[in-house]
Amino acid sequence: MSDPLVLDPADNVAILTKKGIAPAGHKIARADIAFGQAILKYGQIIGYATADITAGDHVHSHNCAFGKHDRNYRSGSGLAAAKAVLARYEAPEMTFYGYHRADGRVGTRNFIALVSTVNCSATVIRRAAEELRIEGALADYPNVDGVVAFAHGSGCGMADHGPGWDALQRVLTGHAGHPNVGAALFVGLGCEVMQISRMKRDLGQAARFHGLSIQENGGTRRTINAIKGRVRQLLPQVDAERRATAGVAHLRIGLQCGGSDGFSGITANPALGVACDMLAAQGASVVLSETPEIFGAERLLLDRAASPDIAGKLLERLDWWQDYAARNGASLDNNPSPGNKAGGLTTILEKSLGAVAKAGGTPLNAVLEYGQTITAAGLNFMDTPGYDPVSVTGQIAGGAQLIVFTTGRGSAFGSKPAPTIKLATNDALFSAMRDDMDLNCGDVLTGVSLTEKAGQIVDMILAVASGQHSKSEALGLGDNEFLPWQIGAVI
């Protein structure tokens, strides 16, 4: 590709692919831009000039600011073209090797989950998991991926109904009943709002779910011992599970980006988007999230909404977020982060346009609440914050068996029970953080096509789904990234 890189003929900025007047990934003006004039990248408005800009000048936060964007929504106008994308990628069935569960879902991992219903039981499940690890309890059970503790800071001091309770209940039951979990043990204090009996009733499938409380077991130490004893009883039956062939239509894949830079929307995100198109054509579900980080690019999703109801749900969530930010003295343009800006992203409009590229070009088939079960094939959108641990926790609760995470600045993120695959947007990051990055997408800048890179991403997804460890798994990440979205009053 040329340097500087022009993404659309209408753009009045270009992207530096190597350091020049500004760092690589940053923008320079292609022509003079007058004060107040719209600044265009991807053929879209990303901001407005706050000063006169001369051709060749660096365009960034010092002379470009957030402003109004195109809200001339034409919901469904691009649906026919989106359906044609699915037809373009029709191919023989792809498969992976997974754990077939009784409910028809297929896991990519086989964990035993310890789930605290309340913060009061967080320590006992963490201590039990750690003592089992130290004691080598899993040594004779090679088909068990681990004992993972899902501890959090809520579960009481909250209403027993409404959005906050619903979201936490979906997260806890979604992790306990996840296809990557062979058996789960709920652990509570006993007197909290999030009662085990209510959660088990909602889950069903009683054979996979167990529960105990600190108060009934006589305190902390006895409860830790009871948890360990129950896990040792469960290990043989969970270890008896074996992988078998499954079609890609069984996969639910969460899409994330974090530590984005000026290359995210040029390399890794669009390559992942093409990979998602390939997978959606096979009936897989791909889940875009982070509602504050599609602000300004929502039209690209609304244009291919499969129904007016789906478009309406997405607009309702965007309105909620704008009100939520305003009520708390914030603006959605408080995003991008300092790291994003150092990497060349100037406004949320610019960041969102790149972020939406992860979703590819197929129809938008569902808009989900936080942690809601993923059922629709193809592209889904789940309402979540932009904060990666909270967003991924919701996607996994919905049933995502894998997370694919693009990053330009670098990330040390991992997740359980669904492993994270990390894609680097540039060569420098891949070289600097080779132990953390699973695949380099920086070579898209030097001639590798998006289709070729997408094929590499699909191959990696299938390999990790079949048991190959991702880099974040090999590093042991994922035990501290479980973070449910706390909605509503703490009382």
Which CATH number characterizes residue 44's domain? 2.30.130.110
- Last residue in a domain, options 181, 215, 240: 240
Separation in Å, CA 146 to CA 38, 109, 175, 182, 184: 53, 9, 14, 10, 12
pLDDT in the model for residue 329: 87
Tell me whether residue 3 is in a domain: no
Tell me whether residue 463 is in a domain: yes
On whether both 351 and 470 belong to a single domain, the answer is: yes
Q: Where are the beta strands (DSSP E) in 144-242?
A: 146-150, 181-188, 209-213
On whether both 314 and 186 belong to a single domain, the answer is: no
Encoding tokens for residue 183? 């058996």
pLDDT in the model for residue 334: 63
Q: Are strands 111-116 and 146-150 parallel, antiparallel or unpaired?
A: parallel
On whether both 339 and 190 belong to a single domain, the answer is: no
Beta-bridge partner residues of 440: 424
Q: Are strands 285-288 and 252-257 parallel, antiparallel or unpaired?
A: parallel
Q: How many Å separate Cα 160 from the centre of its chain?
A: 28
On whether both 195 and 48 belong to a single domain, the answer is: no
On whether both 327 and 394 belong to a single domain, the answer is: yes
pLDDT in the model for residue 483: 97
pLDDT in the model for residue 210: 84
Tell me whether residue 171 is in a domain: yes
Which residues does the chain have with pLDDT short of 50?
A: none
pLDDT in the model for residue 33: 98
On whether both 213 and 269 belong to a single domain, the answer is: no
On whether both 135 and 158 belong to a single domain, the answer is: yes
On whether both 403 and 445 belong to a single domain, the answer is: yes
Tell me whether residue 95 is in a domain: no
The whole domain housing 172 covers 111-240
Encoding tokens for residue 265? 């929307």
On whether both 376 and 296 belong to a single domain, the answer is: yes
pLDDT in the model for residue 196: 85
Tell me whether residue 480 is in a domain: no
pLDDT in the model for residue 335: 65
Which CATH number characterizes residue 140's domain? 3.40.1360
Tell me the pTM: 0.96
pLDDT in the model for residue 400: 98
Among 8, 46, 3, 35, smallest CA distance to 22 is for: 3
On whether both 183 and 274 belong to a single domain, the answer is: no
How close are the terminal C-alpha atoms of the chain, in Å?
56
On whether both 232 and 270 belong to a single domain, the answer is: no
On whether both 288 and 217 belong to a single domain, the answer is: no
pLDDT in the model for residue 406: 98
Tell me whether residue 19 is in a domain: yes
